[in-house]
Amino acid sequence: MTQLSMFLPADWLDWDAARLEFEVRKHNRLYWDENRPVISDPEFDRLVERLRSINPHSPVLDALGPDPAARVGEPVTHRQAMLSLEKCYDEKTLLDWAAKFEGDVVMTPKVDGCACSIRYGADGRLEVAATRGSGTVGEDITANVKRIPNVPARLPVTAPVEIRGEVYLPLSAFAKLAGEFANPRNTAAGALKQKDPAKSAAVGLRFMAYDVVGAGLETEVEKFAQAAAWGFEPVEHALLDRAGMQAGYESYVARRQQLDYEIDGVVFRANRVDEQVRLGATSHHPRGAIAYKLQGESGLTILRDVEWSVSRSRIFTPVGIVDPVSLSGATVTRISLHNWGMVRSKGLSIGAECVAVRRGGVIPYLESVSVPGETPIDYPKTCPTGGFPLREEGDIIVCSCATGCAGAIVGVLSHYANAVGIEGFGDIWLQTLVDAGLLTQPADFYRLRPEDLITFDRMGETLAAKLVENCATHQTDLPLAVFLAALGVPGLGRTASQTLARHFRSLERVRAATPAELLGLPKFAELSAEKIAAGLAAQAHTIDALLAAGVTVATEPEPAATDAAGGPGPFTGKSFLFTGTLAAMTREAAQARVEALGGKAASGVSKALSYLVVGSEGKAGSKLQKAQEAGVTVLTEAEFIALLDATAAP
């Protein structure tokens, strides 16, 4: 399997459209033009879909594929566009797609090679072979394709016909080239562009047919049979009804390591050609086909045990302990089992041989069970830290303790500290302080004293004083949105908190809001409005305790006056990034001020960044150098405050 060494950074979801466009262009070039990708296909797909959701009209989305300027062979215009495939990552999307047409579905593996078109003339001779290229114009690779041993030089036809398929390098052939090339797909791409056909042939390329164009055939199954009759190797295929599609996909996930070629998904296509014609196509993909993409490198392993972790919402989640397996370049011994419902639905048992996948190169999880084990799995009946009974609620296991056990308390405290910016309290320290009775709720952060902490091992005077100072720094004038998000109310994340803060502007008004009032806000459905209102009411004790401990929550300023064109504020279209330690306010407060004036708090340095603000307390780090290299305007903290004051001036 292809091993890639780089993955998307943790903050990629915070990138703006300009940064996403830059990254998509870069990784598109590395994949198509330089044949040296550094992120996996699922990660690239996520970048593209994120850009599409933020800026669906971005010109970058229409420029995916190889750069025409990087073409080696002569251009070849396709008689019929070689479009990409629509992608999906779950069964629901697949079933929604399949509901749009009549008839059965054909399933094939999505071979990870190079798409190729081979035209034969009316005399049956191979005339031209071309890469997919832009979908409209490809690159002439005729001389090299003629040297592929399973590509017929002549067909028994009396009219022009075109065979489309995938040029690939078998894994067995690639193994003999170990150390010379990055991966089979890149090796195949390089060999096809080789100017010396003899050197191209020496690599060991093969061709697998997946379409016959121009022969008047009525079904996909007929096309595969015709390709085989003419001497081609057709792609492995199966005719399915809709109920068997997910099982078919999972069969390829389980068999992936047994195949002699790389796959990056499973293709489903309407079997009837007339239904494909009726559905038509977009400028990007035919509507009669879809690619169910693999979501990361997979591997077989054995489930040896199950551990249960508890969240701040008192939900117990199963974690699988497995034999070491290499996934996306990392050795994995723990995988997510999602929830109790999945354990039951897949009939999971100890000793089972299962397929583990590393989604996007980050989160290892169980994809399917290949061979059942012998020992059934059951959830614990009592909480191991508090002794309270556990109960089933649908697909999840929940602790019956209303106030939260010690394990859940650590999650609550960790969430609050991270949300408001209190640094230095990792889970080990939090557990230690919970066990000692010093921390039982978020308000206790503000009651800690250095003399309380100095008694613990590995806790010197300097560290104790620093931790207490960190708490005090994030005690007053907390931005309302930050405070709300820190409460851990289900459904009340950062975006929803910002919406509440901008609409109600004070904590008192937020606490008094009814579900009906919340329902009138953008993107608040009836269920979420009721859940958030109930969650805030349930957190009344926590909020009161925080206020009693000296926490103050800033009132949001009145909405900035709009300009003549109805713009939202003086910072509209501007983005700010903060680095170093601010003296006049917390970073969260500064970000809130920017957003209240219509600006955006950025997460990283890019050429699209408007301002980098450097705190007067120092510790600017590498962001300052990157901003200077990118030509970004750098403001001192004093200059930033002056800019804020200028926006408030009459």
DSSP output for 553-597: BPPPPPPPPP-TT--S-TTTT-EEEEES--SSS-HHHHHHHHHHT
Amino acid 406: pLDDT: 58
Q: Is 110 a catalytic residue?
A: yes
Among the four given CATH numbers 3.10.310.70, 3.40.50.720, 3.40.50.620, 3.30.470.30, the one describing domain 74-293: 3.30.470.30
Flag the least confident range among 158-162, 215-219, 355-359, 537-541: 355-359
Q: Among the ranges 24-33, 141-150, 356-365, 616-625, which has the highest mean pLDDT value? A: 141-150
Query: How many C-beta atoms lie closer than 10 Å to residue 1's C-beta?
Result: 18
Query: What are phi and psi for residue 538, nearest 5 degrees?
Result: -70, -25
Name the catalytic one among 87, 92, 100, 110: 110
Note every long-range contact of 216-224, with CB atoms under 8 Å and residues 24 or more positions apart, other chains counting. 217/273, 218/272, 218/273, 218/274, 219/271, 219/272, 219/273, 220/106, 220/269, 220/270, 220/271, 220/273, 221/106, 221/271
Determine the topology of domain 480-548 in CATH.
DNA polymerase; domain 1 (1.10.150)
Under the banding of pLDDT at 50, 70 and 90, the label for residue 384 is low
Instruction: Evaluate if residue 460 carries a pLDDT over 60.
Output: yes
What is the CATH code of the structural domain delimited by 406-473?
1.10.150.20
Under the banding of pLDDT at 50, 70 and 90, the label for residue 565 is very low
* Closest residue by Cα to residue 298 from 340, 360, 238: 360
Under the banding of pLDDT at 50, 70 and 90, the label for residue 385 is low
Average the pLDDT over 315-331 and give the result: 78
Amino acid 561: pLDDT: 45
What residues have CB less than 8 Å from 19, skipping those under 6 apart?
604, 606, 608
Whether the CB-CB separation of 398 and 391 falls below 8 Å is answered with yes
H helix or E strand, kind and range, residue 413: helix 406-420
Average the pLDDT over 552-572 and give the result: 64
Instruction: Evaluate if residue 149 carries a pLDDT over 90.
Output: yes
What is the strand order of the sheet 611-614 is part of? 600-601, 575-579, 611-614, 633-636
Under the banding of pLDDT at 50, 70 and 90, the label for residue 66 is low
Average the pLDDT over 369-391 and give the result: 82
pLDDT in tens, 504-513: 889 999 999 9
Under the banding of pLDDT at 50, 70 and 90, the label for residue 286 is very high
What residues have CB less than 8 Å from 53, skipping those under 6 apart?
none
Amino acid 405: pLDDT: 62
Angle, CA 191 vertex, CA 187 and CA 195 arms, to 5°: 150
Instruction: Evaluate if residue 566 carries a pLDDT over 50.
Output: no
Determine the topology of domain 575-648 in CATH.
Rossmann fold (3.40.50)
Question: How is residue 622 written in tokens?
Answer: 């590498």
Alpha carbon separation from 369 to 158, 350, 357, 361, 647 (Å, rounded): 50, 11, 12, 21, 60
Angle, CA 139 vertex, CA 137 and CA 144 arms, to 5°: 150
H helix or E strand, kind and range, residue 629: helix 622-630
Flag the least confident range among 155-159, 413-417, 465-469, 522-526: 522-526
The two domains 74-293 and 480-548 share their CATH topology (first three levels equal): no
- How many Cα atoms occupy the beta-carbon half-sphere of 471 within 13 Å? 22
What residues have CB less than 8 Å from 196, skipping those under 6 apart?
none
- Give the domain ranges of the chain: 12-65, 74-293, 298-399, 406-473, 480-548, 575-648
pLDDT in tens, 337-368: 888 888 888 889 999 988 887 654 446 778 77
Whether the CB-CB separation of 407 and 385 falls below 8 Å is answered with yes
The DSSP code sequence of 84-139 is --EEE-SHHHHHHHHTTS-S-EEEEEEE-SEEEEEEE-TTSBEEEEEE-TTSSEEE
Give the CA diameter of the chain.
94
Share of the chain above pLDDT 70, in %: 87
CATH superfamily of 298-399: Nucleic acid-binding proteins (2.40.50.140)
Give the integer Cα–Cα distance in Å for 116 and 339.
Answer: 43
Amino acid 361: pLDDT: 41
Give the integer Cα–Cα distance in Å for 244 and 493.
Answer: 38
Higher-confidence residue: 361 or 319? 319
Three-class SS state of 422: coil
| Averaged pLDDT of the chain | 83
Amino acid 179: pLDDT: 47
| DSSP H helical ranges for 436-522 | 450-453, 461-473, 480-486, 494-504, 507-512, 515-519
Amino acid 564: pLDDT: 34
Amino acid 618: pLDDT: 62
Whether the CB-CB separation of 208 and 114 falls below 8 Å is answered with no
Residue count (the chain):
650
Residue 150 DSSP class = T
Instruction: Evaluate if residue 445 carries a pLDDT over 70.
Output: yes
Higher-confidence residue: 32 or 538? 538
What is the CATH code of the structural domain delimited by 12-65?
1.10.287
Which residue is associated with the tokens 């019956």?
400
* Closest residue by Cα to residue 227 from 131, 130, 144, 161: 161
* Closest residue by Cα to residue 213 from 197, 226, 198: 226
| DSSP H helical ranges for 231-335 | 245-255, 273-279
pLDDT in tens, 86-100: 988 788 899 999 999
- How many Cα atoms occupy the beta-carbon half-sphere of 2 within 13 Å? 28
Query: How many C-beta atoms lie closer than 10 Å to residue 582's C-beta?
Result: 20
Instruction: Evaluate if residue 76 carries a pLDDT over 50.
Output: yes
Give the integer Cα–Cα distance in Å for 252 and 513.
Answer: 51
Q: Among the ranges 34-38, 123-127, 181-185, 612-616, which has the highest mean pLDDT value? A: 123-127
What residues have CB less than 8 Å from 301, skipping those under 6 apart?
322, 323, 324, 325, 332, 335, 353, 354, 356
Higher-confidence residue: 620 or 79? 79
Amino acid 5: pLDDT: 31
Give the integer Cα–Cα distance in Å for 212 and 118.
Answer: 10
Amino acid 338: pLDDT: 80
